Chain A
Amino acid sequence: MAEERRITLINYGKIDPESISDYISAGGYKAAEKALSCKPFDIIEEMSKSSLRGRGGAGFSTGLKKKFTSEACTLCEQKYLVCNADEGEPGTFKDRIIMENDPHRLIEGMIIAAYAIGASKAYIYIRGEYYKSIKRLGKAIHDARQEGFLGSNIFGSSFSTDIEIRLGAGSYLCGEELTMLESLEGKRGYPRIKPPFPAGKGLHGFPTLINNVETLATVPVVIEKGADWYTGMGTEDSPGTKIFTISGDIKKPGFYELELGLTLRELIYDFAGGMKEGVDLKAVLIGGAAGTFVDETVLDTPMGFDTLKEKGAVLGSGAVMVLGHNKSIPGMTQSILEFFEHESCGKCVPCRVGMTQLVRLISSVNENGTGHKNILDEMLTEAEFMAKTSLCPLGQSPVLPLKSLKRYFAGHF
């Protein structure tokens, strides 16, 4: 049986999250000190070599993102780092676990990332409902400032940076990076047209690096132990570990940090204790609402960004929701589509109108017990149209679960 491998969560339960001296005794801020004695270019090289892929859901190369932001301009007056802590993908709570249990790890990762790209100001944009995370991070930032890890001339170098916490105001869409920038600028959470990408023109028009909490919290260990060590874990296309959050009809819901490449079967039966008594597995929703449904034929596929893609599924944020035989697939679909309908900001007409149409179609299935023969195709056509014509990932999302439903659960509609 595979074992849990805690890299990002190495301090979980071992230190007092509110004590900076606990974190330092556990080897904390060593990686930041090491990083600040290197050239920024070398940090970016090391991150690129580690092939760490963004843990927010899209899986973009962290090294490349840093490189683009770093190279956007050499003489610009300002660059920003933004930590995306607006965790809102249903079923996902990995970032909350990190922020509540090891806030200094995130701060250390942010110091390194800010140094690598030359950002003198950093923001953490966090879910307004995450009271405990907000409190712990606030204290951690304060303590880090006291110790001289934030502020001017960190570790005696010429580098200075500071972190400010900004609270989300209840919009799922603001978890999307460009919309988050709008919100940080004090505007309504409407998505921006891209390009320009934030690496070139981000917050207030300046180059901005936006990384997820889990990604940034993984940076210190990569710098400390090196890219070669890191790529020794996981699979070739998706190295390292990932925090999976598993919920639904299983015996032991919770979070598990595991090497990528393990199978869904191992996650559900070896770690999460298997299905609840008397319940058979019907479906697994991977990646949250903007994720994909799969059936038992995918249980033995190694989980990685690319291997799941071959099965028409996504790894996304690492949310795994297990549905027993007594759960209705069209019922679940309706819950997801109603969520998107509610969160659609209304800027793009295809998304605004399309979401209403999708909810109308799925409601007709649920009200009548069954829909007419082509209802799934009808919904897919609508969703594909939306995906092609909407600005941001929200309008592009419904097609993901719907496509997977067509592939694995067409008989349920």
Chain B
Amino acid sequence: MIEAKEIDFSLYERNPGELIPLLQLVQRESGFLSDESMKRIARFTGVPLSKVYGVATFYSQFRFKPKGEKHIMMCRGTACHVKGAPRIQQEIENHLGIKEGETSDDMKFSLENVACIGACSLAPVVMVNEDVEAKLSPERIKKLFGKSEKKK
């Protein structure tokens, strides 16, 4: 993770159409969007800060708080629903002691619901960082996220 102010914008041309790619760049490099980083993007692109904030809050991908070491994306698509996603989510929330949208206090885990991620033949699935974990059962959740990680 690097500080938002140190991220290199030199490949960008300062046009408003680059707003979303820039927000994505900052989030990818520093994990989340801080107030400072959005101000920097506003100055760089010439897009008013209110609009930068408006765009960032519209899209569900953007986060304004740091995420955990393991960022869990729970697929809530229809196929995963059919295969028991609500129960899996319950199990994850109980096991890690965090709810959807939260990060655990030790910064190890964060949980986010996402729309169908197109792994329907492997349902139910979560993505942990960039990896898909397939055909989940409540038992596998414990194996996947360790036994004694429950902290709040």
Residues 24-64 (chain B) with a chain A CB within 8 angstroms: 24, 45, 47, 54-55, 58-62
Closest to A133 in B: B118
Asked if A371 CB lies within 8 Å of chain B CBs, one says no
Asked if A43 CB lies within 8 Å of chain B CBs, one says no
Size bin of chain A's contact surface: 35 or more
Decide if B78 touches A285 in the complex (CB within 8 Å).
yes
Give 1 or 0 for each of A128-172: 1 = CB within 8 Å of chain B CB.
111100000000000000000000000000000000001111111
Asked if B81 CB lies within 8 Å of chain A CBs, one says yes
The stretch that binds B, out of A49-57, A60-68, A180-188, A220-228, is: A180-188
Known A-B contacts A88-B116, A129-B73; the reply to A93 vs B121 at CB < 8 A is yes
Give 1 or 0 for each of A273-303: 1 = CB within 8 Å of chain B CB.
0000000000001001100000000000000
Asked if B114 CB lies within 8 Å of chain A CBs, one says yes
Decide if B118 touches A185 in the complex (CB within 8 Å).
no
Task: Tell me the minimal C-beta distance from B125 to chain A in angstroms.
Answer: 11
Task: Tell me the minimal C-beta distance from A92 to chain B in angstroms.
Answer: 7
List, in ascending order, chain A residues with CB within 8 A of B8's CB.
none
List, in ascending order, chain B residues with CB within 8 A of A88's CB.
115-116
Interface centre among B23, B45, B81 (most CB of A within 10 A): B81
List, in ascending order, chain B residues with CB within 8 A of A130's CB.
117-118
Closest to B116 in A: A90
Q: How many residue pairs bridge A and B at CB < 8 Å? A: 119
List, in ascending order, chain B residues with CB within 8 A of A93's CB.
118-121
Decide if B20 touches A186 in the complex (CB within 8 Å).
yes
Instruction: Specify which of A90, A186, A321 is in contact with B17 (CB 8 Å cutoff).
Output: A186
The stretch that binds B, out of A101-109, A243-251, A348-356, is: A243-251
List, in ascending order, chain A residues with CB within 8 A of B136's CB.
none
Asked if A339 CB lies within 8 Å of chain B CBs, one says yes
Asked if B144 CB lies within 8 Å of chain A CBs, one says no
**A-B pairs with lowest CB-CB distance, top 4:** A93-B118, A170-B61, A169-B59, A186-B19
12 contacts between A and B (CB under 8 A): A90-B77, A90-B78, A91-B79, A91-B116, A127-B117, A129-B114, A166-B20, A248-B82, A253-B123, A321-B78, A327-B82, A335-B81
